[in-house]
């Protein structure tokens, strides 16, 4: 009897710990996207680039035939074309934009990346939003930058009424505190990471690493660990079937709900990965980034400059 009783209480304790809210930071793997799984988890968006980049987003079949996406074992590569000189009057350089079929609210997503696009003119992004209803449902930019200019910034964009406090427990540096997309040309509320290996060539020289986003109704947090960072949590490194973010330490970026009703401003989001060239952001700051000539001419005439313009994913894992 005694033994049975102890087992029962032990089970109760274990069970309680798994109730949402009982242990806030525990999540279970719901999507393990590795290698060719990317072809099923995502839709290919062959549409004009809304940010006016010098790219032509192609469909899945075209992308595969041009080897712009390539899956093998635990590798999924997504790149822009790097062989052809473009006709200045014709379409942009073929590239790829993918959007998850599924949407997510409360979740943890782990982006395990060996390489990210680099080079003058590149503007890669890993982000979450409902782009068919943008900006009403909010936007979370996890990895985004232009022209190799690091470190990474994680940024939210919302309707008016969502701001971030100046004092937050995070390792990154605050940019604008107002997330309202109508302020300063949709700058958003960004946090610049301090780790130089979080973006571009230094990211790639270190074998990439792990980007992790946690979204709850209380906060949105983003962490980054470079490939050889000894502090990477064991459950991330070992591709666990559960993760517990309570052990992850101070995030690079922390967006609390204290001045922003996250449930109101953030709805169901797709995971989107796009790689554009030039366009509204990369094009406008191109000259200030130490890049040669003008952005569109550079893209048109220098295919070899885009050989490193690719993502190499070791996997994406989503936990809910
Ligand atoms: C396609 O891309 C992959 C990854 O970069 C590469 O290993 C492979 O050789 C390429 N295939 C062709 C036919 O170019
Ligand atoms: C991806 O597309 C969205 C708009 O749909 C845009 O906000 C984002 O900046 C784009 N990023 C890239 C790298 O194309």
The verdict on the CB of residue 122 being under 6 Å from ligand 2 is no
Categorize the per-residue pLDDT at 49 as very low, low, confident or very high, splitting at 50, 70 and 90.
confident
In angstroms, the CA 235 to CA 222 distance is 16
The verdict on the CB of residue 48 being under 6 Å from ligand 2 is no
Categorize the per-residue pLDDT at 23 as very low, low, confident or very high, splitting at 50, 70 and 90.
low
In angstroms, the CA 151 to CA 4 distance is 55
Q: Ligand 2 center to residue 198 CA distance, Å?
A: 19
* 130 given a catalytic annotation: no
What pLDDT score was predicted for residue 50?
Answer: 82
Q: Ligand 2 center to residue 276 CA distance, Å?
A: 8
Mean pLDDT of 251-265: 98
Q: For residue 20, is it within any domain?
A: no
Provide the percentage of residues in the chain whose pLDDT is more than 70: 92
- Considering every ligand atom, which ligand is closest to the CA of 133? 2
**Which residue of the set 56, 81, 139, 214 is catalytic?**
139
Statement: residue 182 has pLDDT above 90: yes
CB atoms near residue 120 (< 10 Å):
23
Q: For residue 12, is it within any domain?
A: no
Categorize the per-residue pLDDT at 5 as very low, low, confident or very high, splitting at 50, 70 and 90.
very low
Mean pLDDT of 42-51: 91
**Which residue of the set 128, 144, 214, 308 is catalytic?**
144
- Which structure tokens are listed for 25? 């930071």
Nearest CA to ligand 1 atom 3: 70
Q: For residue 142, is it within any domain?
A: yes
Which CATH number goes with the domain that contains 63?
2.60.120.200
In angstroms, the CA 154 to CA 195 distance is 13
Q: For residue 49, is it within any domain?
A: yes
Mean pLDDT of 287-302: 96
Q: For residue 156, is it within any domain?
A: yes
Angle at 172 between CA 166 and CA 175, to 5 degrees: 50
Mean pLDDT of 10-34: 66
Q: Return phi, psi of residue 265, to 5°.
A: -90, -15
Number of domains comprising the chain: 1
Statement: residue 24 has pLDDT above 50: yes
* Cβ(275)–Cβ(95) below 8 Å: yes
3-state secondary structure 123-185: EEEEEEECHHHCCCCCEEEEEECCCCCCCCEEEEEECCCCECCCCCCCCCEECCCECECCCCC
- Most distant CA atoms of the chain, gap in Å: 83
Say whether 98 sits in a helix, a strand or coil.
Answer: strand
- Which structure tokens are listed for 211? 């980007």
Q: For residue 27, is it within any domain?
A: no
205-242 confidence digits (pLDDT tens)? 999 999 999 999 999 999 999 999 999 999 999 999 99
Q: For residue 44, is it within any domain?
A: yes
CB atoms near residue 152 (< 10 Å):
30
92-148 confidence digits (pLDDT tens)? 999 999 999 999 999 999 999 999 999 999 999 999 999 999 999 999 999 999 999
- Considering every ligand atom, which ligand is closest to the CA of 308? 1
In angstroms, the CA 243 to CA 226 distance is 18
To test the ligand 2 pocket, which listed residue (276, 277, 299) has its Cβ within 8 A of the most ligand atoms?
276
* Cβ(39)–Cβ(61) below 8 Å: no
The verdict on the CB of residue 35 being under 6 Å from ligand 1 is no
Q: For residue 110, is it within any domain?
A: yes
The parent domain of residue 167 ranges over 34-319
Q: Return phi, psi of residue 196, to 5°.
A: -65, -20
């Amino acid at each position: 009897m005694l033994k049975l009783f102890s087992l029962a209480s032990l089970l109760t304790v274990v069970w309680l710990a798994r109730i949402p809210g009982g242990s806030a930071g525990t999540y279970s793997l719901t999507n393990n996207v590795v290698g060719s799984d990317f072809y099923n988890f995502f839709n290919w968006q062959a549409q004009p680039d809304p940010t006016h980049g010098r790219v032509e987003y192609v469909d899945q079949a075209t992308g595969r035939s041009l080897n712009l996406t390539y899956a093998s074992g635990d590798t999924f590569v997504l790149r822009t074309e790097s062989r052809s000189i473009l006709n200045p009057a014709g379409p942009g350089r073929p590239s790829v934009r993918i959007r998850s079929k599924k949407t997510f609210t409360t979740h943890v997503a782990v982006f395990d990346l060996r390489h990210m696009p680099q080079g003058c003119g590149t503007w890669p992004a890993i982000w979450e939003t409902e782009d068919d209803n943008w900006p009403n449902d909010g936007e979370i930019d996890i990895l985004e930058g232009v022209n190799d200019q690091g470190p990474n910034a994680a940024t939210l964009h919302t309707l008016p009424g969502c701001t971030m406090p100046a004092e937050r427990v995070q390792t990154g540096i605050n940019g604008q505190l107002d997330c309202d997309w109508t302020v300063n040309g949709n700058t958003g509320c960004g946090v610049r990471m301090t780790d130089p290996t979080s973006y571009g060539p230094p990211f790639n020289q270190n074998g990439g690493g792990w980007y992790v986003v946690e979204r709850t109704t209380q906060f949105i947090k983003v962490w980054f660990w470079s490939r050889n960072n000894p502090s990477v949590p064991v459950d991330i490194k070992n591709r666990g079937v559960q993760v517990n973010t309570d052990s992850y330490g101070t995030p690079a970026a922390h967006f609390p709900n204290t001045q922003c009703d996250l449930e109101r401003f953030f709805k169901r989001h797709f995971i989107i990965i796009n790689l554009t060239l030039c366009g509204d952001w990369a094009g406008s700051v191109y000259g200030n980034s130490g890049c040669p000539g003008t952005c569109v001419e550079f893209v048109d005439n220098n295919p070899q400059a885009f050989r490193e313009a690719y993502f190499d994913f070791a996997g994406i894992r989503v936990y809910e």
